[in-house]
Amino acid sequence: AATGMRFGLGREAMAEEIAAWDVDVRPDGTGLPEGSGNAWDGEALFEENCAVCHGSFAEGVDNWPALAGGFGTLADKDPVKTVGSYWPYVSTVWDYVHRSMPFGNAQSLSDDDVYAIVAYILYSNDLIEDDFELSRDTILDVEMPNAEGFIVDDRAETEYTIWRTEPCMENCKDSVEITMRATVLDVTPEEDGADD
């Protein structure tokens, strides 16, 4: 690879520094640390750290995300996209929980805690048994139902070829009818001072 001019700025990163910040986990498991946990351990941890927002069964509370369920709904009018029904990789669950959850107290879980909580989320989605010991060595054994559910952006073929065309300027349609109005829903916030 071509390299440009060097300015001699910055300093070499130390191994401890890289270890502290570089914690991303890849779909093939690269980046996962030692450790393990199962849904039995995870249930208690989930109740303590996660259930207030995500529900005791990972079903979601109020507007907070449901982490389980929704299987077979992706083509429905209102898809329910959860770890079980939508997420393609277990690695992402581990990485995201480890790095960014619980909301408001991120990076507070030990590696074993994360394995156990991820196991509980997978168990809540009926993807593993309750005694399945989740670890670096077993995580790729978990089959994610929607792993094949994604395609790489295909707009170039399915859209751009159709829509790169000289547009109509006159007599483009015979009639125009209003089919929907936002004021019927009336969900727009009022401006300050309005509606005294």
Return d(Cα 54, Cα 67) in angstroms, integer.
7
- Residue 131 CB, shortest distance to other proteins, in Å, is 27
Return d(Cα 147, Cα 22) in angstroms, integer.
25
Return d(Cα 142, Cα 119) in angstroms, integer.
10
Cβ(97)–Cβ(32) below 8 Å: no
- Residue 88 CB, shortest distance to other proteins, in Å, is 6
In the bound state with other proteins, the residue whose beta carbon lies nearer, of 41 and 69, is 69
In the bound state with other proteins, the residue whose beta carbon lies nearer, of 92 and 133, is 92
- Residue 35 CB, shortest distance to other proteins, in Å, is 20
β-bridge mates for residue 135, sequence order: 36
In the bound state with other proteins, the residue whose beta carbon lies nearer, of 62 and 143, is 62
- Residue 158 CB, shortest distance to other proteins, in Å, is 6
Tokens of residue 179, six digits: 């089919």
Cβ(70)–Cβ(59) below 8 Å: no
- Residue 32 CB, shortest distance to other proteins, in Å, is 13
In the bound state with other proteins, the residue whose beta carbon lies nearer, of 40 and 71, is 71
Tokens of residue 108, six digits: 């507070």
Return d(Cα 69, Cα 57) in angstroms, integer.
10
In the bound state with other proteins, the residue whose beta carbon lies nearer, of 26 and 34, is 26
